[in-house]
Amino acid sequence: MQTGEQGPFALAVYGGRMAATPGLAFLAGYQAALRALWAAAPEGIGALCATENRKLYPADMTTRVKGVLLTGCKDFVTAGDSASWLLVPAREEQQGEPVRLGLFVVRPDSAGVQLETGRPLPLVPDIPHARLRLEQARGERLDGDGWNDYVKPFRSLEDLYVLAALAAWLLGVGVQHHWPQSLVLRLLAVLTGGAELDRQSPHDPAAHVLLGALIEQFHALRPELDSALEATAGPWADLWRRDKGVLGLARNAQALRLQKAMRAFGISSEDEAGVQRR
């Protein structure tokens, strides 16, 4: 999949609208986020492989690079063996230096690369996943800092594009089955807000505040969406019930980013203390 003349946000919306399931809509949003992160991404499905032992921060990573060869393990490869290229952060600092990450492009069919396919997950079970093992596998380093330029902003990009893709999937069901006009229009408003947010830098605190507002706007629709889906003939309610939790996987990280961004604007709320306690 290439962006061509369309930007990543348009791809997320189009992919979500055409997806048969919320899981496939999620994958469309995830792929769009990768292309927003790396404009030169090649054709085919990609994956960002960062977490190790369910931890994400650079100091917790043990995957290292020596020259151009990477050794280590990553917990999760979205799309599993369907991925044709992988983005792998690895530590590259020398002994005694501060932790520093590079980001490397790794081909799954290269020597020293092993994908261990996992069992289907309760959420989005139609999307395969795998664990990645690297043993002196060759990687191509991308320009910039692996953490600040790639891993950190990807978390916000993924939140935006996955939300847009799932909202587009719901919109498609709603239009096909003649949901109330007010609900269809409010789904369109979520997508309109997402299109505006897409113009902002994921490094800007204002983007995190706007993303928080967009997520709240969508959550306010959830009761009405659930009711509309339950009243709609077909598998849609069961599919949504099964997969809608994918939007909550990064909820605490989202909340922490939002509170930090709001503090940058001198705004605090009663929710902040609760977020800090979790």
- Domain of residue 104, CATH code: 2.40.110.10
In a domain, 84, yes or no: yes
Of 124, 141, 158, the position where a domain reaches its end is 141
In a shared domain, residues 168 and 251: yes
**Total residues found in the chain within this entry:** 278
Given a contact cutoff of 8 angstroms between Cβ atoms, the answer to whether 35 and 11 are in contact is: yes
In a shared domain, residues 90 and 157: no
In a domain, 24, yes or no: no
Low-confidence stretches of the chain (pLDDT beneath 70): 1-5, 269-278
Pick from 24, 34, 47, 27: nearest CA to 2? 34
Q: What's the confidence (pLDDT) of residue 275?
A: 44
In a shared domain, residues 208 and 225: yes
Supply φ then ψ for residue 19, to 5 degrees: -70, 145
Given a contact cutoff of 8 angstroms between Cβ atoms, the answer to whether 29 and 12 are in contact is: yes
In a domain, 178, yes or no: yes
In a shared domain, residues 151 and 271: yes
In a shared domain, residues 124 and 63: yes
* C-alpha–C-alpha distance, residues 145 and 98, integer Å: 13
Given a contact cutoff of 8 angstroms between Cβ atoms, the answer to whether 153 and 32 are in contact is: no
In a shared domain, residues 135 and 248: no
In a shared domain, residues 123 and 164: no
DSSP 3-state of 253: helix
In a shared domain, residues 270 and 156: yes
In a domain, 123, yes or no: yes
In a shared domain, residues 231 and 250: yes
In a shared domain, residues 185 and 210: yes
In a shared domain, residues 103 and 199: no
Q: What's the confidence (pLDDT) of residue 203?
A: 92
Tell me the one-letter amino acid at 110.
S
In a shared domain, residues 96 and 50: yes
Long-range contacts of 244-247 (CB under 8 A, 24+ apart): 244/22, 244/166, 245/123, 246/22, 246/23, 246/26, 246/123, 246/124, 246/162, 246/166, 247/162, 247/163, 247/166, 247/218
Of 141, 169, 198, the position where a domain reaches its end is 141
Q: What's the confidence (pLDDT) of residue 269?
A: 63
Q: What's the confidence (pLDDT) of residue 278?
A: 34
Q: What's the confidence (pLDDT) of residue 2?
A: 45
Of 108, 141, 174, the position where a domain reaches its end is 141
In a domain, 23, yes or no: no
Tens digits of residue pLDDT in 159-211: 999 999 999 999 999 999 999 999 999 999 999 999 999 999 999 999 999 99
Q: Which residue range(s) make up the domain with 98?
A: 46-141
Total of domains in the chain: 2
